[in-house]
Structure 1
Amino acid sequence: MSRREAQGPMPGRYPVTFGEVDLLRDLDRPSGWVVSSGGVPQSYVDLDDPTYLDFEYVQLMALVIDLLDEGPLDAVHVGGCACTLPRYVAATRPGSRQIVAEPDGGLVQLVRDQLRLKSVPRLKVKILDGRSATAGLADGSADLLVLDAFSGAMMPLDLATSEYMGEVARVLRPSGTLLVNIADGKGLAFARRVLATIGGTFRHVAMLAEPGVLRGRRFGNLIAAASPAALPLAGLTRRAAGGLTQARCLHGEELSRFVAGAPPLNDGDPVVVPVPPPAVFG
């Protein structure tokens, strides 16, 4: 263990490759830490308990992961920050092999220095953007691909297009699962287009969201799950309704009605990516 690791994390503002981030201590959990950029929380990790997930949308992603076939996973995470879900997968599915793609090398080094990233077994971090990292992966090499990439509060548009979804489908195994974190607000126009794009590539799609977000009453996160194979819809519906984050699971005809009329996204399309109103993180 290095001297820096022995001293423990130090709260403060740190320069990274693409600007600055704040490292904040959770006053309610001594081992909890938040990485924030421009006032937008990006990651929460509990260094002593990687199974503790503070962000509600991450809880929904974990709900899907927990329903996958038992045993270790070959997982790819596009978007890393403090690597909350890779830590969770390593703790709940020992032996998993994981790759994280994170383009901000300064941020990766900060997380290594301050938040014990090197303690996560069988984790490889590539300092690459999502498209480049995915292009370098072998066909049929992943059981799980998690797409949780944001620049500040905005999802990179090049990771939401039909062309990129085709690459994801190439990398996933026939029983593999894609998870996508989508942020949207009133009207959910962007979320509908992303779901239409995913549905154009994958036969089986479901969406998890809190009722208030689903009705467009407030800006928030919607989680898409997709696979070439059937999804565990009964388990998703039951656990979403009864979990810490109570959410609805849309699939089948209900999801088709949600997406109806929304055109898929393609490379080069002029699209405005939604950003949260200031009050969301104020």
Structure 2
Amino acid sequence: MTDEPHFEFRPDDRGGVTVLRDGHPQSHVDLHDPELLAFEYVAQLAIGIDLLPPGPAGVTHIGGAGLTLPRYVQHARPGSPQIVLEPDTALTEAVRRELPLPRNHRIRVRPQDGATGVRALREDSADAVVVDAYDVGRVPADLISPATIVHYRRVLKPAGLLLLNLADEPNRRHLARVLATLAMVFADAAVLALADVMKGRRFGNYVVLAADQALNIDEIRRRATRLAATTSVRAAKTLQGTAKPFTDDDVIPSPTPPDLGAWRVR
């Protein structure tokens, strides 16, 4: 008997491959079409990337899995220097073997967890920081602690964007506390989610965009209308309410999903 993880690369009829770890979907990758972002939350994260000024962009990713979004950035913005903090070296090796990265890429994967790795990054070194990391279906507490969020801001350039893939139950209590914590560091934030998730009908993903300057929420909504799945956009302050920010002593992981692994597959 072994505790080593099992990886599966499952092709689909769309020409892509779903990466699974111990039966749980991690990413969807299409080597021939990096713009095919089959998971809705990845397409929502890409809106944040597209809001950056034209040309190469320095992007730091917390969490790698199949490297779907780094591949998208490389395709849309050739020459972009990217750092991926992914502690699962076995997964990274399997992805590199089964789903090779494009030629002339500038994607560097570091075998570190996000909370540790971000502390070692240079100040003002990234145009965007993307936080998309889960442990057994939950966002680890150390990735949304005030201390780590301060480091996200430190690593970002003054006009940079923080992009987070979060998850919560219909009551959104956890999301509200994350938003309150972000508000202590960033000037503005917006939230994207599938329409039924935003209406509180089920557990699901919430993508948060945070910045030190006012976000153009009308432009974000305009871009969201182009997505295949109906996506709602809200100003973070309308969802934050009176929630209390996390502290480094009481921060907790996101709630356990009701059906581990299945809720992230579309």
TM-score tier after normalising by the smaller chain length: over 0.9
C-alpha spacing 1:21/1:202, structure 2 compared with 1 (3 Å): farther
Cα distance, 1:266 vs structure 2: 2.0
Cα distance, 1:82 vs structure 2: 0.8
Q: Bigger CA drift: 256-265 or 114-123?
A: 114-123
Q: Is the contact made by 2:10 and 2:19 (CA closer than 8 Å) also made in structure 1?
A: no
Could you report, residue by residue, the CA deviation over 1:225-267 in whole angstroms, capped at 9, with x for unpaired residues? 011123232210112134212211111xxx3231112111222
Aligned pairs (5 A) from 1:44-193: 44-117=28-101, 119=103, 121-193=105-177
Q: Amino acid of the residue matched to residue 269 of structure 1?
A: D
Match of 2:250 in 1: 269
Question: CA separation in 1, counterparts of 2:104 and 2:190?
Answer: 30
Q: Is the contact made by 2:7 and 2:91 (CA closer than 8 Å) also made in structure 1?
A: no
Could you report, residue by residue, the CA deviation over 1:139-178 in whole angstroms, capped at 9, with x for unpaired residues? 1110010000111211111001111110111000000000
Q: Is the contact made by 2:145 and 2:251 (CA closer than 8 Å) also made in structure 1?
A: no
Match of 1:231 among 188, 209, 215: 215
Match of 1:7 in 2: none
Cα distance, 1:209 vs structure 2: 1.0
Q: Is the contact made by 2:28 and 2:68 (CA closer than 8 Å) also made in structure 1?
A: yes
Give unmatched runs, 5+ long, in structure 2.
Answer: none
- Please list every run of at least 4 consecutive aligned residues from structure 1 whose deviation after the TM superposition is greater than 4 angstroms: none
Report the count of equivalent residues: 262
Question: CA separation in 1, counterparts of 2:187 and 2:129?
Answer: 16
Question: CA separation in 2, counterparts of 1:51 and 1:44?
Answer: 11
Name which one, 1 or 2, has greater alpha-carbon Rg.
1
Question: CA separation in 2, counterparts of 1:172 and 1:191?
Answer: 22
Q: Is the contact made by 1:23 and 1:33 (CA closer than 8 Å) also made in structure 2?
A: no
Q: Amino acid of the residue matched to residue 23 of structure 2?
A: G
Match of 2:230 in 1: 246
Q: Is the contact made by 2:137 and 2:260 (CA closer than 8 Å) also made in structure 1?
A: no
Q: Is the contact made by 2:28 and 2:39 (CA closer than 8 Å) also made in structure 1?
A: yes
Question: CA separation in 2, counterparts of 1:171 and 1:279?
Answer: 32
C-alpha spacing 1:156/1:44, structure 2 compared with 1 (3 Å): same
Identical amino acids, percent of aligned pairs: 39
TM (norm. structure 1) is 0.87
SS of 2:225's equivalent? Answer: helix
Question: CA separation in 2, counterparts of 1:279 and 1:207?
Answer: 23
Could you report, residue by residue, the CA deviation over 1:20-74 in whole angstroms, capped at 9, with x for unpaired residues? 24323233133x1111234321111011111111100001111221122111001
